[in-house]
Amino acid sequence: MQFADIQEARDFLAAHPEVRSIELMLIDANGIPRGKLLHREELLAIYQNGRPLPSSILALTMQGEDVEATGLVWEVADADCWTYPLPGSLTLQPWRSTPTGQLQVSMHPTQGLPAAPADPRHALVRVIDRLKADGFYPVMAVELEFYLLDKQRDASGRPQPAVQMNGVRPEAPQVYGVYELEQVQPFLDDLYAACEAQGLPVRTAISEYAPGQLELTLEHRFDALQAVDEGLRYKRLVKGVANKHGLQACFMAKPFGDLAGSGMHMHVSLADEQGNNLYASEDPQGTPLLRHSIGGMMATLLDSLAIFCPNANSFRRFQANSYAPLAKSWGVNNRTVSFRVPGGPAVSRHIEHRICGADANPYLAAAAILAGIHHGIREQIDPGAAIVGNGYEQATEFLPTDWLTALRALEASTWAREALGEEFLKVFLAIKKTEYRQFMAEVGEQDWRWYLNHA
C-alpha cells in the first residue's frame, strides 16, 4: 500500500495559505465518505504519524448506524485504527463557502487493524496486484449517471427534477438534448471548474434518458486504481457542487419508478507493462483474451451481483427496453446487453460493464469485475456467441431481480471469498444483511426515502 509523502502537504499549505479547514475522508463499504473536518495545523501530523479513526467507521449501514455483527464495534472496543493519506488526494473543495481542502485516507495494512481488512480500497488493490503478477495491467474508466433534483419535494413529499434556468421543471426525457445542457450551464460551469481544480479528467456532458438526468464521462486511466479513486472523488464533488447551487445530486439507482435508472458503467481493458492494449484487434469482437474476460465476468455475475446492486432499490433498474441489462449477455456495439464491446479502432478495444447501479461502491465493483476477468482468463472461459440485435428479446439467463437472492449468492460464493477476502466479505455481508432487515421491517415500498440522501 503506497501512502503520500509529507512534501505534498508542505507544498499544499504553502500554496494555499487561505485554507483553514481540510475534509479528511475515508470511503466505507457503501461507498460513502466518512471522516472529519480538520484545522490546517493538523495536516502535517497526518502525513508524519497517520490519523486514527474508530474501527466502527468501516462497520456502518448506509444510515450511519453501527453493525455489531461485523466484529468491529464493541468486541474490539471500537479501537483506534490508523489511516494515512493517499498520494495526489490533497486538493481543494472549490464549492465550499470558505476555502477548504480535501484529503482521502486509507487504512494502514498493519497499524489500521482490526479495521484494515474491511477497507474496500484494499480489496481492489489486492485484485489489481494479482492481475499484475500475471502480466496484466488493468485500464479503467468510471461513468456515472445521476439526477439533479430540487431540495424541495413535491406536494406528496416525493423528489422531483430541478427547475431549469428558464423556470420550467423538465418533464420529457430529451435524451442528448443540448438545450437541456444549456439550462444547467451554471452548475456545469462550476462542476468543470471544480474538476479542473482537483485534477479530475472529466470530459463529455450528456443529457441522459430522463428529465434532470445527466452523465459526465471520465477519461480512462492506465492505472485502474487511479481511475476508481477519481470516480469516488468525482461523486463527492458532484454532490458538493449541486449543494452549492441549492440542488441535490442523486446517484440512487432508481429514484423514479417510471423514469430511467442511473447506472455506473465501468470501462475496462488489459494492457501489458508498456501500456499496449492486449484486447486490441481488427476483429470487432476483440482478442481471445477479451472473450475469456467476458466469459469470466459472466461466470461470476451471480456471485458478484450484490456488489453491483447493493440495495433493494438497485434491482428496480432492471427493466426491458430501459438501457439497463436483464441477462448474462454480451455483444459488439450493442446497448441491450450486459457486457458491451464498443466500436472504434483496434487500439481502443475494451469492454463496457453495464450492470452496476450508480449506488454501487466503485472500489468493490471494480474489484469484482477485475477478479471475474482474471477468473475467465485462468479458466479460458468461453462466453458463447455474441448477441446480435435486440438483447432484450433474446435474453435467456435473466439476472435475479431481488436483493435477498443476490445476498445469498454472494454469501455462498467460494470465488467471492477468494477474490475479495474472507474478512472483508464477513463485514460487507453483515452490513448489507442488517440493511436488508431494516428495510423490510421499516421502509417497505418507500425505499426512496431511505436511499435518497445517501446514494
Answer yes or no: is 210 within a domain.
Answer: yes
Say whether both 94 and 136 belong to one domain: no
pLDDT at 155: 84
Distance CA 73, CA 58 (A): 9
Average pLDDT over residues 362-376: 98
pLDDT value of position 74: 96
Q: If DSSP states are collapsed to H, E and C, what string results for 107-141?
A: ECCCCCCCCHHHCHHHHHHHHHHHHHHCCCEEEEE
Q: Is residue 439 in some structural domain? A: no
100 plus 137 within the same structural domain = no
Provide φ and ψ at 388, rounded to 5°.
-115, 125
Predicted pLDDT at 412: 97
Q: Tell me: do 289 and 172 sit in the same domain.
A: yes
Check whether residue 369 and residue 327 sit in a common domain: yes
* pLDDT single digits (tens) 351-360: 999 999 999 9
Q: Are residues 160 and 234 in the same domain?
A: yes
Mean predicted lDDT score pLDDT of the chain? 92
CB-based burial of residue 376 (10 Å sphere; 0-12 exposed, 13-18 middle, 19+ buried)? buried
Q: Within a domain: residue 442?
A: no
- Which residue, of 112, 143, 178, is where some domain finishes? 112
Asked whether residue 50 falls in the same domain as residue 145, the answer is no
Q: Residue 176's CB: how many other CB atoms inside 10 A?
A: 11
Flag whether 443 is in a domain.
no
How far apart CA 360 and CA 370 sit, in angstroms, is 15
- Rounded to the nearest 10°, the torsion over CA 217, 1, 55, 88 is -50
Domain boundary among 112, 145, 173: 112
Q: Is residue 277 part of a domain?
A: yes
Quickly tell me which residue has 468501516 as its cell.
58
230 and 257 together in one domain: yes
Give strand ranges (E) for 209-307: 213-218, 247-250, 264-271
Of 283, 365, 336, nearest in space to 27 by CA: 365
Same domain for 154 and 38, yes or no, is: no
149: which strand partners?
A: 161, 248
Tell me the DSSP string of 39-95. Answer: EGGGHHHHHHH-EEEEGGGGSB-TTS-B-GGGSSSGGGTT-EEEEEEPTT--EE-TT
CATH assignment of the domain containing 25: 3.10.20.70
On whether both 107 and 131 belong to a single domain, the answer is no
| Tens-digit pLDDT profile for residues 107-151 | 999 999 999 999 999 999 999 999 999 999 999 999 999 999 998
What pLDDT digit, counting tens, does each position of 244-264 carry?
999 999 999 999 988 999 999
Strand partners, 101: 22, 92
Q: Is residue 430 part of a domain?
A: no
Which is more confidently placed, 196 or 338? 196
Among 112, 138, 161, give the residue marking a domain's end. 112
Q: Would the pLDDT of 388 be above 70? A: yes
Please give the helix or strand (H or E) that residue 103 lies within, else none: strand 100-107
260 & 349 share domain: yes
Shared domain for 107 and 148, answered yes or no, is: no
Length of the chain: 455
Instruction: Please give the tally of structural domains in the chain.
Output: 2
Note the pLDDT tens digit of each residue in 62-114.
999 999 999 999 999 999 999 999 999 999 999 999 999 999 999 999 999 99
Are 275 and 303 found together in one domain?
yes
**Is the four-CA dihedral 313, 315, 321, 322 of positive or negative sign?**
positive
Residue 251 included in any domain:
yes
| pLDDT score of 319 more than 80 | no
Is the preceding peptide bond at 114 cis, omega within 30 degrees of 0? Answer: yes
User: Is 445 inside any structural domain?
Assistant: no
Tell me the CATH number at 217: 3.30.590.10
The domain of 15 spans 6-112
